[in-house]
């Protein structure tokens, strides 16, 4: 496939690469995406409220018990492991190539797969803190407590993830925009580019090659130099043969 060859060549020649990822890159690891037919937002629940409402800041404050019932059962996958796509992009790091991963995911699989520079726009399930005293807790600490996890001080523990109605971290956003502005190649993987403001960051890319890898079409396909409507694992395996 000529497009695979072209992307492989772009990756070889890249010196400042940005990999921008969404839920689709973690689907092969057993973590569902949000908006597909089988995604989190389209699954039946018995919680009386839609998922988008449950994972909002106001809902967390109003009913942390129901929030955590949903969060622990539907958004946390402690047994998930990085897949070939996570490992592939981590392996592109080299002394003469900077690779920055900008991700909308909260699962930590890029780091587990070997990536050393990961900017998490929406936070991480692996970081948690007491809302009263600020003490830090691990994911295992959270999962070990039934119901609403609490600190020794009595405060409720909140995951360090960006809920609906909450702003993104300004520092992480600045780093992401800066990396995208300086990149010569940008590869967008596993995202419908429908979540804002994250999707809008693509407008900062001024480099040579913009590639999109997603099963379905995105609003940015027409702006991409290379677009692949395919499973990310298939694309990665084809790239590995070229590289």
Q: Are 67 and 54 in contact (CB under 8 A)?
A: yes
The tally of domains found in the chain comes to 1
Q: Does residue 52 fall inside a structural domain?
A: no
The answer to whether the beta carbons of residues 57 and 165 sit under 8 Å apart is: yes
231 is in which domain, residue-wise? 1-31+82-122+168-243
Please say if the pLDDT value at position 239 is more than 70: yes
- Residue 146 in any domain: the answer is no
Within a domain: 179: yes
Give the number of other CB atoms < 10 A from CB of residue 197.
Answer: 10
pLDDT at 140: 97
Strands 226-228 and 209-213: parallel
How does pLDDT run across 215-226, given as a tens digit for each residue?
Answer: 999 999 999 999
Output the pLDDT for position 199: 78
| 237 flagged as catalytic | no
- Residue 201 forms part of a structural domain: yes
Let me know if residue 219 belongs to a domain.
yes
Q: Specify which residues 130 forms β-bridges with.
A: 157
Q: Is 57 inside a domain boundary? A: no
Residue among 57, 86, 110, 122 flagged as catalytic? 122
Which residues are registered as beta bridge partners of 212?
Answer: 188, 227
Of 138 and 33, more confident? 138
Is residue 157 assigned to a domain? no
| Predicted TM-score (pTM) of this structure | 0.94
Asked if residue 160 is part of any domain, the answer here is no
SS3 category, 77: coil
Residue 150 is classified by DSSP as: B
Lowest pLDDT segment from 28-32, 35-39, 204-208: 35-39
Query: How high is the pLDDT of residue 33?
Result: 78
CATH code for position 231: 3.40.50.1220
Alpha-carbon separation of residue 51 from 29, 67, 151, 203, 207 (angstroms): 21, 9, 26, 29, 37
């Amino acid at each position: 496939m000529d497009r695979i060859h072209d992307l492989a060549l772009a990756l070889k020649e890249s010196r400042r690469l940005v990999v921008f990822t969404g839920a689709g890159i973690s689907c092969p690891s057993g973590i569902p995406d949000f908006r597909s037919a089988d995604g989190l937002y389209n699954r039946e629940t018995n919680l009386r409220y839609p998922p988008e409402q449950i994972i909002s800041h106001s809902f967390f404050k109003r009913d942390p018990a129901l929030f955590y019932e949903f969060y622990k059962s539907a958004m946390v996958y402690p047994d998930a492991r990085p897949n070939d796509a996570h490992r592939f992009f981590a392996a592109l790091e080299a002394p003469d190539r900077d690779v920055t991963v900008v991700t909308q995911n909260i699962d930590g699989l890029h780091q587990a797969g070997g990536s050393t520079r990961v900017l998490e726009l929406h936070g991480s399930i692996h970081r948690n803190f007491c809302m009263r005293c600020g003490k830090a807790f691990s994911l295992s600490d959270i999962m070990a407590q039934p119901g609403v996890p609490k600190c020794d001080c009595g405060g409720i523990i909140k995951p360090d993830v960006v809920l609906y109605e909450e702003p993104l971290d300004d520092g992480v956003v600045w780093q992401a925009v800066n990396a995208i502005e300086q990149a010569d190649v940008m590869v967008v993987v596993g995202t419908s580019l429908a979540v804002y403001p994250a999707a809008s960051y693509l407008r900062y890319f001024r480099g040579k090659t913009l590639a999109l890898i997603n099963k379905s079409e995105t609003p940015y396909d027409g702006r991409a130099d290379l677009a692949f409507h395919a499973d990310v694992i298939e694309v990665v395996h084809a790239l590995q043969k070229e590289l």
